[in-house]
Amino acid sequence: MGNNFSEPIYLEIIPNSSSSKKNVIKKNEAVIAGNTKITVEEEPHENVKIILKKDTDDIVKEIKFICSCGQTKKITLDYSE
């Protein structure tokens, strides 16, 4: 029996630097960087959404804070030495 409640895993795609100014990314202009899980949490008292971007081993790679006023702050975590 499969686990029906597992988090979805998405492919993380990075466009080549030459195509970064376009709105459409073609298949040959993109590189698959790996897999990622995205979790959205909401703080009801502060009206802040917290988006956690994790790898397949549940290690947090990026934390994004989105205020109800539209401001966004992002923290990228690099575990390499």
Determine how many CB atoms are found less than 10 A away from the CB of residue 25. 14
pLDDT grade for 20, boundaries at 50, 70 and 90 = low
Tokens for 49, please give them: 């959404």
CATH of 9-76, one of 3.10.450, 3.40.1350, 1.10.287, 3.30.2010: 3.10.450
Q: SS3 for 62? A: strand
Of 59, 38, 37, 41, nearest to 50 by C-alpha is 41
Is 90 exceeded by the pLDDT of residue 75?
yes
Specify the pLDDT at position 6. Answer: 66
Token digits of residue 79: 């575990």
The residues spanned by each domain of the chain are 9-76
